[in-house]
Structure 1
Amino acid sequence: MKHKDLIQLPDGYLRKTPVFQFILLSILFPLWGAAASLNDILIAQFKSVFTLSDFATALVQSAFYGGYFLVAIPASLVIKKASYKIAVIIGLLFYIIGCSLFFPASSMATYTMFLCAIFAIAIGLGFLETSANTFSSMMGPRQYATLRLNISQTFTPIGSILGILLGKYLIFQEGESLDKQIAKMTPEEAHIFSLNMLQHTLQPYKYMIFILMVVLVIFLLTKYPSCKVHEDTKTSNKAQTPSILETLKYLGANKRFRKGIIAQFLYVGMQVAVWSFTIRLALALNDNINERSASNFMVYSFIAFFIGKFIANFLMARFSPKKVLFVYSIIGTCLLAYIVVASNMMAVYAAISVSMIFGPCWATIYGETLEVVEEKRYTEMAGAILVMAIVGGAIIPALQGIVSDLLGSIQYAFLVPMICFIYVGYYFYSEIKRESEIKNNVTEVLIQKNS
């Protein structure tokens, strides 16, 4: 009997967590964190090099998270037909291809080609997140599923910090801000300068390709449990393998699942929006700094994000995760409101503080929403749809860019993520209220039985 059969339970969860496989799986999380944070660098770089509006720069995130949206269901089908491991390998291959496309993009010097390269990376990351998030939650006892996912997600900001540092030192250069430098040049000089700046975008992706190749080889050589529901051989395959329409009908009828999807959509959107415009916010509030200096605030943001995850893990181990996140939502909403009205650099530090509040949101919403899917035959597709909610990262930043262009204020545009956080708070409040009602009903039933 194989090792995975010894430790795997009928519902797909494992009796205990295989440490090496879990650590290797968790290494994937900083890899997509690095790709996402490099987008924040590219937004600031492309705005000046290609002379873009705030809405146009946000298309970087639209290409990135749009790729997630489109590939999530295909990735779930790969998981269903093959395995989580195969989906991870496909994701790593597409990630490598996307990084490689930055080389022709820099030679062609067109914004569209860069968006295509980012989209290819997103396809790879869509496979990785669709598989790794659910895989992490199931790689051990069921009662610790959300905690395991939070632990894996704790590695994400490490990659985000490394991505920002790569962008800071390999893409951004010393001297005045790009806008100031270009303003002093003739059109011909500006064109040559812009081409040179685009060449710098290649540097971090060279390192990324090497790292990805190493991780890919290790994954190919490592055995993983399937973490799939054991099928009853006496039951027909048709009954055991639901169709896409059947799955969507089942999930669509689940009100709590729908609310979780909306919360995840808005949460991802507001997180990406805040991070996309933090560098821009710093540059707008302080004329004396350049892009390289402003990128420090993103480093601080991801450090705060990392610390916030540890604090949240500590709190959620002792209190209800829903109550912790509800309080976090209130604090986050207040901080975003402060960004809108602040008249100095304190607004930037408020944006950094919001990152600490972001820490536990994704993993907790994901784990709690996946848990409401009682029929585990639909788990793979449910996980894919939750990953599809990442499309909020394609839409909310673009909406914030439009608001910024229309109002002529990057600060006022932070009203968009503030409204998103209000809904996230409502989501956790409704879950707390539901748990309280169930507890009260159980208490009433027990009282009636004893009376």
Structure 2
Amino acid sequence: MTTQTTPAKGFSAVWPLILITSLFFFWGVANNLNDVLIPQFKKAFVLTDLQSGLVQSAFYMGYFLLALPAAFVMRKFGYKSAVVLGLLLYAAGAFLFYPAADNHQYSWFLGGLFVIASGLAFLETSANPLITVLGSPDKAAFRLNLAQSFNPLGALSGIFIGQQFILSGIEHDEAALAAMSDAARQAFYVTEVKAVQGPYLLIGTVVLAWALLVFLSKFPAAATKNAHEDTGEEIGFLTSVSRLFQRPHFLFGVVAQFFYVGAQVGIWSYMIRYAQAEIGLTDKAAATYLYYALIAFAVGRFIGTGLMTKLRPSLILGLFAIVNIGLTLFAVVSGGQNGLWALVASSFFMSIMFPTIFATSVAGLGNLTKTGSSLLVMSIVGGAVLTAVMGMVSDHSHIRTAFVVTAVCFAVIALYAFRAPKAANAAPVAITGH
């Protein structure tokens, strides 16, 4: 027998929605601060491009390894518990930056980033479905799209925090560093690495306070119940995985998502480095181009979504991927200011890729959708693997050459798009964060 409960009204109904919507902002901040940390750590620790790219490797490995545990916690203890645990991990990772800077340990920073991303895996796994149950079902899509609008605000805020409070704009070439005394050179490194302490201490404090607010706030029953309280029957995880491996289009979607996230993370991670090498900008000045890229990304989402009312999503995905092959290869061949603007422009065409690949991959999966979604979330480990590959290519050649990797990524996406069956061409679902 189902017990009917009176829906919450007024502030008691809106407050949980405010708390969870804010999470979309929080992970936007964390994701895009990484693009600032890469050039900052490269300077402060005197790293190669491969070593500095480990920022993204540590981060996205956290997503990869914690995606399934996050789903387990959500099923076992409910959405609210997963959110609280995710926020606690996020805060703990941010607080680790303080001793990492005091001890001048790059490996400690990587550990902190892994912990932050572990928390974000919990938040992203739980926040999207939780938003849909915080109110009437007929308004679920509206609430999720409203929540999505706070993610780019967080992304822009992350770049702003990094540019204004972390990047100093002070850079010394090898000759200048060699001319310094040991004490002066060490003082420079210490100052640069400690620049991250204040911002991450503040972020950790705010996130910890938010965890407490979520914990103490009353949520609807749907946000706290576990999977055993649901009436729907679900098949086992291993059975789901076995059946998914019999679906080649879905598996190709997982591969395409791996390459997409690798391309997106790689372009944004090395855009500052490209600007420094190609047109001689300081890291602080180069960060402005990340603003332009994120604005282009946001505009592309609106225009791309509008185009999908007229054209098949997979067709738009394929065409956008082909354009980005051209843009990234142009950045490789041309270099300079024009190459940098080509990388900025590529963000416009990346904008619809994550949700479109996601939606066309899970279309028609039925009761395999939840497991399929988890595997697609795990595929963002491409950000860890391919960013490191780009760093390795850059170290052995040039930063421009590294963007050949992203051109290959877009080629894989184009192949996926043009091989997508017509049945998979549903309009993209509301997916956020990438």
For this pair of structures, how many residues does the alignment match?
A: 416
Q: Which segments of 5 or more consecutive residues in structure 2 lack a partner in the other structure?
A: 426-434
Distance 1:31 1:406 in 2: 36
Asked if residue 281 in structure 1 is aligned to residue 270 in structure 2, the reply is: no
SS of residue matched to 2:403: helix
One-letter code aligned to 1:382: G
Contact 2:335 2:400 in 1 (8 A): no
Structure 1 residue 33: deviation in Å? 1.7
Structure 1 residue 256: deviation in Å? 2.4
Structure 1 residue 343: deviation in Å? 3.3
Distance 1:353 1:405 in 2: 25
SS of residue matched to 2:73: helix
- TM-score, L = length of structure 2: 0.86
Contact 1:323 1:432 in 2 (8 A): no
Asked if residue 98 in structure 1 is aligned to residue 88 in structure 2, the reply is: no
Distance 2:349 2:273 in 1: 21
Asked if residue 385 in structure 1 is aligned to residue 375 in structure 2, the reply is: yes
Structure 1 residue 302: deviation in Å? 1.3
Structure 1 residues 352 and 331, CA gap change in structure 2 (3 angstroms): same
One-letter code aligned to 2:332: V
Asked if residue 321 in structure 1 is aligned to residue 313 in structure 2, the reply is: yes
The equivalences for 1:266-415 within 5 A come to 266-287=259-280, 289-375=281-367, 378-407=368-397, 409-415=398-404
Asked if residue 31 in structure 1 is aligned to residue 23 in structure 2, the reply is: no
Structure 1 residues 398 and 371, CA gap change in structure 2 (3 angstroms): same
Contact 2:77 2:226 in 1 (8 A): no
Residue in 1 that maps onto 2:56: 61
Distance 2:132 2:340 in 1: 34
Distance 2:376 2:283 in 1: 34
Residue in 2 that maps onto 1:12: none
Distance 1:429 1:141 in 2: 37
Residue in 2 that maps onto 1:441: none
Structure 1 residue 194: deviation in Å? 0.5
Residues 241-268 of structure 1, C-alpha deviations (whole Å, 9 max, x = no match): 5443222212222222212111111111
Residue in 2 that maps onto 1:71: 66
Residue in 1 that maps onto 2:195: 200
The equivalences for 1:75-90 within 5 A come to 75-90=70-85
Structure 1 residue 280: deviation in Å? 0.2
Structure 1 residues 175 and 50, CA gap change in structure 2 (3 angstroms): closer
Contact 2:100 2:108 in 1 (8 A): yes
Distance 1:387 1:108 in 2: 34
Contact 1:38 1:163 in 2 (8 A): yes
Structure 1 residues 298 and 131, CA gap change in structure 2 (3 angstroms): same
Contact 1:91 1:128 in 2 (8 A): yes
Distance 1:181 1:4 in 2: 70
Asked if residue 155 in structure 1 is aligned to residue 144 in structure 2, the reply is: no
Residue in 1 that maps onto 2:159: 164
Residue in 2 that maps onto 1:115: 110
Asked if residue 427 in structure 1 is aligned to residue 419 in structure 2, the reply is: no
Structure 1 residue 416: deviation in Å? 0.4
- TM-score, L = length of structure 1: 0.83
Contact 2:364 2:424 in 1 (8 A): no
Distance 1:116 1:351 in 2: 30
Two-structure CA RMSD over aligned residues (Å): 3.0
Structure 1 residues 426 and 182, CA gap change in structure 2 (3 angstroms): same
One-letter code aligned to 1:360: I
One-letter code aligned to 2:412: Y
Structure 1 residues 305 and 59, CA gap change in structure 2 (3 angstroms): same
One-letter code aligned to 1:208: I
SS of residue matched to 2:180: coil
Distance 1:205 1:398 in 2: 24
Structure 1 residue 3: deviation in Å? 4.9
SS of residue matched to 1:345: helix
Structure 1 residues 183 and 303, CA gap change in structure 2 (3 angstroms): farther
Residues 180-206 of structure 1, C-alpha deviations (whole Å, 9 max, x = no match): 763542333211211111110112212
Residues 58-83 of structure 1, C-alpha deviations (whole Å, 9 max, x = no match): 11111000111110111111122122
Distance 1:192 1:21 in 2: 46
Structure 1 residues 232 and 352, CA gap change in structure 2 (3 angstroms): closer
Contact 1:67 1:126 in 2 (8 A): yes
Contact 2:67 2:121 in 1 (8 A): yes
Distance 1:129 1:84 in 2: 11
Structure 1 residues 145 and 431, CA gap change in structure 2 (3 angstroms): farther
Q: Which segments of 5 or more consecutive residues in structure 1 lack a partner in the other structure?
A: 7-17, 437-451
